Structures are given as structure tokens and as C-alpha cells.
Amino acid sequence: MNATTYAWLVLSIPLAGAAGIALAWRWLPGRTAGWIGSAAIGLAFLNSIGALVMLQDRPAEERHLRSALWDYANTSGIEVQLDIFVDPLAVFMCLVVTGVSFLIHVYSAAYMAGDRGYARYFSYLNFFVFSMLLLVLAGNFILLIVGWAFVGFASYALISFWYRRRTATYAGMKAFVINVVGDVGLVLAAILLQRDTGRLDYPGVFETAPRVFETNEWVIVAVCLLLLLGAFAKSAQIPLHTWLADAMEGPTPVSALIHAATMVTAGVYLIARMHPLFELAPTAADISAAIGALTLVFAASVALVVTDLKRIIAYSTISQIGYMVMGVSIAAYGAGMFHLMTHAFFKALMFMAAGSVIAAMAGSQDIDRMSGLRRAMPFTFAAFLVAALALAAFPGLSGYFSKDEVLAFAAERGGAYWLLYVAGTLAALMTAFYAFRIVFRVFGGEPNAEARELEGGHLHHAEPANPVTGEPEDTDVGYPGPAHHIAEREFPMKAAMGLLAVLSVVAGALQIPGVTHVVEGFLDTTFEDSRFIDTEVSGGLEALALIVGAATGLAGIALAWLLYVRNPGATTRLARRLPRLHGFLAHKWYFDELYDRTIVRPTAALGRFSADVFERVVVGGLVSGTTFAVRAGNSIVRVAQTGLLRNYALLLVTGVTALALYFLVVSR
């Protein structure tokens, strides 16, 4: 079995899982659907490993494999096949996606038990994994767009999973609409590329592009900007980031999978995959890096003040993806992808732990109500602590090495890229701070009521309600189930979280600067045509990055300790003294309000105008005018239908006479 066969299996098994669960859900008792889903992804992961092994067996030059199923379209200059492109980048993404997905499936099998939509959840989740794999393995732009759209749909389906919650459905729609904007960008980019290069498959496009385009020619810059539109919509970068915070309406494992580890990294993958095009259009790459840096700082600043646990982690995700986007935009491909991997580990872990905490709080997500949960939930505390340390880039953990590699590369590029370095460092400080803000708030301090209940062995129960608006709900289908599962009591959750914790700690060893280069070396063959492939970060800059990174991480943790443990209440006093700044941050820099003013309201007004004026007057008038005209004509013609035989005969004779006259005249 060669690598491409494994790749096809990787693609088809999750699809089969999704279809199977969808068709057989009625006959799957208890948690069976969960195990089937997990098994499907587990098999996919094993097949990914098979693909990896078979790929590595080949010599380095032969690691770009294409495999086509059949001709999809072959007309008027467009030749598209249903093909996949298997190379180290694709296999890397497959491994990360299937690996993390598998663990999240196992976690969900326990976490979502009791929900009336259990089987539907796993069907959607499997379908999502299939779509993500399709996106990653696609060998041409058409399949990429297909996978892109499928992923968007799966995200929508899972965000509005508890569909009777109004906030959830709104959030799903918001996510989908913003994603569609990205889709448009992607499609337009594909059209432009096809027009100028005549090809739609990756090898063809990447070969012909340098011949057809000049560096920084406006067409290729436009193409890259359109690709960025798609990437930013998926990866929640400014200005298309507003959907990710609201996407936290979905179940926590969904947030872990889609909005931390996989879907939001699709944009990063896109930029990495399209690196030949981006290197032809350095302007676009620089714009991308700049936006990545801006998002980095913006999201970190918002995470400082928001009080919903999942939303803090969401903004953290946005911020960290800013790192990745920045990384692949400045051609630090290996570093960027490495950070993608480590981020997937510790962010998924963080979300899982958060899920456990929320379950202990009987559904509430407000960190102002949480405190002192460390004794009641020791395992969750340990897991969250590991994740927070990795996020804060504590020296030695995976996040430390990956983040600082990106920043070191920025420093190496020099010149204006030092700005990126500064922004990254500033954000690192804020990141460490808010990561431990959560740790100290939620787990530190005196145990609150729920914690005390849990210490007594009893899980707190509350009336089901919407965590954001407080509206009461029930626990039937369309709402979360009545059972709350915490890690301490569910072995699957513990197993998944434990494994991720271990990975968050040791994965750094894969790419210790100057020592190991596993990830970079593996991905080298994909990026060998890059101009920067041989850019080595000098030892001095590397050391600088590591030291500064360690310093900022520890400083951030220390600052958090100061403000939350030594002087509790200090932050509230700070907020009261700087109300405007606090408001600006708490309202997420007023992006939502801006969009509401400039886009939502004018569109709604246009809709109203169309309905009142255009629809009623023009279209309605046209339609009723037509019927009126027809009726009028009718009444005129009806006069001839008198019922009298002689009238009809007269009309006949008249008609014949007229015809004869006509023919007489014509034949003259």
C-alpha cells in the first residue's frame, strides 16, 4: 500500500463514519455512536501514520505524490480531476488533524453523553474531520474550495448544535456568513489563477505561476489578497474575526476541535500551501504578516478583560493563530507549522479542561463566579495548569519553543520585521498574563459554593439556562443534556486530557532550536522551492529570542500572580480607574458595533426598501398589471362570444373574406 492509498483511506473512513452514524442512529444505544465516531477517526489516524511511513520511505525528491480518482471536469480549457496531493505538509496536517480529533472524539464520547442529539453530534463531527482532511489533501483548487465550504458548513452545524438556543443559531449564522465572504475570496483567486495560468491543480499552478507573473505584479498580489480573504475568514483574523468568539456557543469539544486545533488552522495551511504564490507577491505576504501581528495584539488585549471562560480561550486562539499567520507569511514555514501543532495540543487541552470546569459549575461560564476549584478538581487543575504553562511559553514546554522560533525568524529577516518581533513579544507578555489570570481566578482562592459541593462528592446541579443571557431552558433535544461530566469522574475524558498534557510538555523536543529539526526537516521537501529555505536563524538571535521569551513568560505569570493572588481585587480597581480603556477592550475594540453600523444596518435597510418599494410597487405592479392587461383584453374579445350561431358564422365569413382579400392583394 503506498502513501496515496493510505491517504484515500484517511479521507474515506471519517466520511463512512459520518454516513454510518447518520443512517443508523436510531439503533445505536447509549454511547455507541461516540465509540464508532472515535474508532473511525482512530483508524484514520493510523492510516495517516501509514501514509507518513510510506512517504518517508521514498527519497526526498519524490515526496510530492498525486493520485486522481477520475476526471471531474474537462471542458473549455478547464481540466479538473478528483485528485489528492500527498506531500509532507499534507501528511503533517493529516496527522495533527486526525490525532487531535481522535482525542477530542474520545473526550466527547463521555462529555456529550446524555444529550439527546448525541448521534447527530458524532455524525457532524466525523463529517467535519472528513471535510478538513479533504481541504488538506486536495490536489487542486476546486477540491480545496469544496473542502473549504464543507468545513464551513460543518462549523455552522456544530456551532448551532443546540439549535433551540437562539444565541447559538445566531452565532452559527454569523460564522457562516463571514465564512462565505472568505469563500468568495477563494473562488475569485482560483478564477484569476486559472485565467492566467490555465491550470487549477497545485503542481501546474505552482510551476506556471513564476513564468506568467512578475514579482509583485498586481494580478498575483490580488490573487494572494483574495486568498488571504479566505484564510482570514477561516482563521478569524482581523477584520473577519468576529465570529469566533460567538462560536463558543457550540459544545466545548467542538470549540476544542474546530475552533482551536483544526478549522481555524485551515487559513494557516492555505498560506503555507500557496507559498510559491505568496513569495511571488511579497507585498501580500507582508500585509498578511502585518495583519497577523495586529490580530495577535488585539486578541491578547481583549482576552485581558473578558469574563466568559470560553471566550477568553477563544481570543487566545485568535491571538495564537496570529502567530502562525505571521510565521508562514514571513516564510518561517517550519516554525509556523510547528506552532500550529503545539497550539493544537495545548489549546485543545485547555478547552477540555474548561469543559470540565463548566460541567462542575453546572453550565455557568462566568469566571467571576468561579474560584478555588483546585482541591475539588485536581486532575482538571493539573491539566489546565499544563496547558496554561504551554500557552504562556514557560521555558521547556512546547509552546515556548514553537512561539520563539517564529519570533526569532522575524528577527532574522531584519529591517521592518523587527516590528513583528516587538508585537509578538508584547503579545507574549499579555498571553502569559491572561493564561494565568484564568488559572488564579478559577482554581486559586477560596472554594466557591460549587467547589465546596464537589469536595463533598456531589456535583452541583442548577436549572438549565443559557450561559450568556440567562434565559431558562430545558434539557430536551436541541438543548444541552441534563448530565454534566467532569474529568475526575469520566475515564475517557481523563485519558484524552492526559495524553494531550503529555504532548504539550514533550512536543517541544521535536524542534529545540539548534538541536533537533524534526518538523522542519520533515516539511523541507514541501518548501524546498522557497527563497528562504536556507535562511538559518543565527545563533545569537535564537538565543535572544529564547531568553526574551522566557523572560516575558515568567514576567506575565508573575504579574498575574501579583494582581490576582497577592492583591485580589486589584484588577477591579484598575478597571474602575480606566473605564474607557476597559470598555474599549471589553467591547472587543468595538468591531461588532462597527460592522453593525456599516454593514448590517444598511443591508437590513436595503432589504426593507426592496420589500416595500421594489417588491410591492415594481414587481407587484408588473404582475398585477399583466393580469389586468390580460383581463382587459379578455373582456374585449369576449364580446364576440355571444352564443349566437349566426354571429359565429358571420365572423367566419368575415374572416374568410379578409383572408381572401389579403391574398388577392399580395399576389398582385
Partner 1 sequence: MEAVVFWFAAALAVAGALGIVLQRNPFYSVLALVVHLIALAVLFLLLRAEFLAAAQVIVYAGAVMVLYVFVVAYVGGLEDPLTEPSPALRALAVVFCVALLAELSVAIAGSGLKALDTHGPELEAGFGSPAQIGELFLTRFLIAFELVSLLLLIAAVAAVVLARREPETSSRPQPDRGLARERQVF
Partner 2 sequence: MDIVWYLVLSALIFSIGAVGVLTRRSPLVVLICLELMLNAGNLALVAFARMTGTADGQIFALIVMIVAAAEVVVGLGLIVAMYRNRVPMDVDELSELRG
Kindly state whether residue 630 participates in binding partner 2, applying the rule CB under 8 A.
Answer: no
By beta-carbon proximity to partner 2, the closer residue of 610 and 657 is: 657
The stretch among 454-462, 539-547, 617-625, 649-657 that binds partner 2 (CB under 8 A) is 649-657
Stretch that binds partner 2, among 6-14, 250-258, 544-552, 648-656 (CB under 8 A): 648-656
Options 515, 644, 664, 665; binder of partner 2; rule CB under 8 A: 644
645 binds, among partner 1, partner 2, none (CB under 5 to 8 A by kind): partner 2
User: Does residue 570 bind partner 1 (CB under 8 A)?
Assistant: no
**Segment interacting with partner 1 (CB under 8 A) among 192-200, 202-210, 632-640, 644-652:** 644-652
Compute the least distance from the CB of residue 650 to partner 1, in Å.
6
Measured between its terminal Cα atoms, the distance across the chain in Å is 87
Residue 643: contacted member of partner 2, partner 1, none (CB under 5 to 8 Å, by partner type): partner 2
Question: Which residue from 211, 576, 638, 668 is in contact with partner 2, where contact means CB under 8 A?
Answer: 638
- Which of 419, 578, 650, 659 contacts partner 2 by CB under 8 A? 650
Q: How many residues bind partner 1 (CB under 8 A)?
A: 10
Are 193 and 141 contacting, i.e. CB atoms less than 8 angstroms apart? yes
Residue 223: C-alpha distances to residues 190, 218, 270, 279, 649 (Å): 8, 8, 13, 12, 74
Whether omega before 203 lies within 30 degrees of 0, making that bond cis, reads no
Q: Can residue 506 be called a binding residue for partner 1 (CB under 8 A)?
A: no
- CA 268 to each of CA 285, 453, 590: distance values in angstroms, whole numbers, following the listed order: 12, 43, 26
Residue 664 binds which of partner 2, partner 1, none (CB < 5-8 A, kind-dependent): partner 1
For the stretch 508-511, contacts whose Cβ atoms lie closer than 8 Å and that sit 24 or more positions apart, written own/partner, are 508/342, 508/396, 508/397, 508/398, 508/399, 508/400, 508/401, 508/402, 510/338, 511/334, 511/335, 511/338, 511/401, 511/402, 511/405
* Of positions 515, 630, 645, 665, contacts partner 2 by CB under 8 A: 645
The number of CA neighbours under 13 Å toward the Cβ of 162 is 25
Question: Is residue 660 at the binding interface for partner 1, with CB under 8 A as the rule?
Answer: yes
Stretch that binds partner 1, among 533-541, 562-570, 625-633, 648-656 (CB under 8 A): 648-656
Contact 131, 151 (CB under 8 A): yes
Cβ pair 507, 359 in contact under 8 A: no
> Applying CB under 8 A, does 60 fall inside the site for partner 2?
no
Do 44 and 98 form a contact (C-beta atoms < 8 A)? yes
Closest alpha carbon to 321 in 304, 352, 306, 300: 300
538 binds, among partner 2, partner 1, none (CB under 5 to 8 A by kind): none
Interaction between residue 643 and partner 2 (CB under 8 A): yes
- Cell readout for 465 is 439556562
Contact between 417 and 411 under an 8 Å Cβ cutoff? The reply is: yes
Given candidates 601, 617, 647, 648, which one binds partner 1 under the rule CB under 8 A?
Answer: 647
Instruction: Give the count of alpha carbons within 13 A of 503, CB side only.
Output: 21
DSSP H helices in 68-217: 88-111, 118-137, 141-159, 166-197, 202-212
Q: Which of 630, 636, 664, 666 binds partner 1 (CB under 8 A)?
A: 664
Site string for partner 1, 126-165 (x = CB under 8 A): ----------------------------------------
Closest by CA to 325, choosing from 278, 298, 356, 288, is 288
Q: Residue numbers of the site for partner 1 (CB under 8 A)? A: 646-647, 650, 653-654, 656-657, 660-661, 664
Q: Residue numbers of the site for partner 2 (CB under 8 A)? A: 638, 640-646, 649-650, 653
